[in-house]
Amino acid sequence: MAYIVRVTQEHLIKSFRYRIYPTPEQEAAFRRIDGCCRLVHNWGLEARLKQIKSAPRDADGKIIGKLLDYTAQQNALPALKSEKEFLSEVPSHCLQAALRNLDNAYQRYWSGLSEEPVWRRKGEPERLRFPDKNQFSINKIEEVEPKRIPYLRAVHDWKSACGKIEKQNARRAKKGEAIESLPDAPIRPRYHRSDIVWLCAPKFGMSGKDGGAIAMTMHRPIPRNGEILSCSIRREGPYWYASFPVAIPVGEKRVQGNVLANALVQAGEMDAIHPKGTKQKAIIADRDRRKREHKEKLRKEKVYLNTKALERTRVVGIDRNIGKPVVTSLGDFLGRASLTPKLDRKLTRLQRDLARKLEALRKENKIEPGGSLKGIKFGANVMKLKRKLNALHGRIARIRKDMIHKITAYLIRVGDIFVIEDLKLQNMTASAKGTVEKPGKNVRAKSRLNRGMLDKGHGEFARQLDYKCRFANRMGGYRKAVIRVNPAYTSQMCSACGHTQSENRDDEKFLCLSCGHKAHSDENAAQNIRVRGLGHLASVVGRDLEEILSVMDSKPRPGDHRLLPPEDWAVGLPEGPGESLGKTEEKKTTGCLSELAV
């Protein structure tokens, strides 16, 4: 698996993730290192919070003086090590990386890109990072000494032990004494195959006396011209993964391409859409200002977009739903539920078993039903259920992410500019429980709706589509962009005449009460989303919406013979003659176009 971390002027930082197979001893070492990194993180966070609370402020409430930074806390780390000697048993670079991550979190918080850093708690998935690229290496099996590989070292020790016992048994047989039985051979691990490589890092495979090299499946190669920057190890359920951010050089000649998408990128359309933190308003105001300046620049320079540029541009409207996760204006119905009925039954059973055991534990410790179990030690059966539940959640998440990766990869191949709804998912999936004074209504129905919406991964879909557009911009030589539009009334508006009425839609069927237009309701919404995106595009490039529509929808554009979407993720085609996965009925876009534009 690979995903974009960030883009710089000269390099594209792309992360490659691989499955690793640590031994039980190596897993225990990972947990010890993570525990020490968690302690250092919380120690650094506590020092920063104390300083912020006690720092002097001016009349406007701003802090006077310099705050703690990474350098100051790194210099104080040796004193903490002398106080807590067990910190010296783990790699020092991992502890420094924990402080660096904390400093980066504060920098993002002050820039308005994220929320304020929080405490790290015990029980969270273990994670650690080796920040120095010279401190780890990826080697083939013939490049590693046998004593650094745990299984081969165990085989060597077993053969040595067997040789000693056989010599002792020979002497005992001459004396008529009892013969000692030979020990069992070490179990050959399932990952010990020819395609396994070995990850050597501090305390793991750097010498013959440490925990040994870590087995890793390198299912895809790292680019030869790329430079590995660091190594991060993380647990997801029962599985462990290693991630390597790689800096890939990008040539300047590759950044030219589609002029429409290029205008959107220059106007700041690909900036953070929903910034968080104290500088949220300032970031939004700066982005709007740059959009106005870019539009005025285009008007003054009288930028002319020729007909050929419009014909080559594929603008795709995308409607995200619960029943059919992704429906496009091209007529594609993509995706399915990641939580299948079989997995749902298994998940329900495990959750009920865990809830029953936790209630028994509360009753045993005389805690009221639903009360906190903080400080209570869980038994082996409870921990076993927790591990099974975490493993199942991880499996469902991997199914969902794999589905979204396939859908977004297909869309990137067939489109240039993608228009999606600007959904406020956090508000849409909020609980309807209410309070004791004002209890909510239809709580169970809203809970099922929230569960179905979160299962489709609409937020992850938007994130992946955004970063893959950035990747295509830097590596593919063809500009791609994402436009977010107002989602209001897109499912009730007729894409043919613009008539808006709630009675137009009946579940999956759309019948306009004004002009009689028939279509699948989700496909009709995708058409409306596309036209709203075209209206936004027209305002950015300084052209008239009617002019853009007359060119883009007048004749077939290159790419109409596009590849079919992955069959595994195609579901529920609309009913009706002549409609298929690759062919769509022509939609009339004339009429109340001013109402569709935003």
What is the set of active-site residues? 319, 421, 522
Name the token pair of 212.
């040994």
Name the token pair of 25.
């001893």
Name the token pair of 538.
């027209």
- The distance in angstroms from the start CA to the end CA of the chain is 37
The span from the CA of 54 to the CA of 157, in Å, is: 59
Q: Cβ distance 333 to 572 under 8 Å?
A: yes
Q: Cβ distance 486 to 424 under 8 Å?
A: no
Helix (H, G, I), strand (E, B) or coil at 570: strand
Beta strands in 397-462 (DSSP E): 417-421
Q: Cβ distance 250 to 475 under 8 Å?
A: yes
Produce one character per residue of 583-596: b if its CB has 16 or more CB atoms within 10 Å, e if not: ebeebebebebebb
At residue 383, what is the residue type?
A: M
Name the token pair of 213.
């090299």
- CA-CA-CA-CA torsion sign (499, 461, 411, 343): negative
- CA-CA-CA-CA torsion sign (436, 437, 442, 448): negative
Name the token pair of 218.
């390198």
Name the token pair of 150.
């745990």
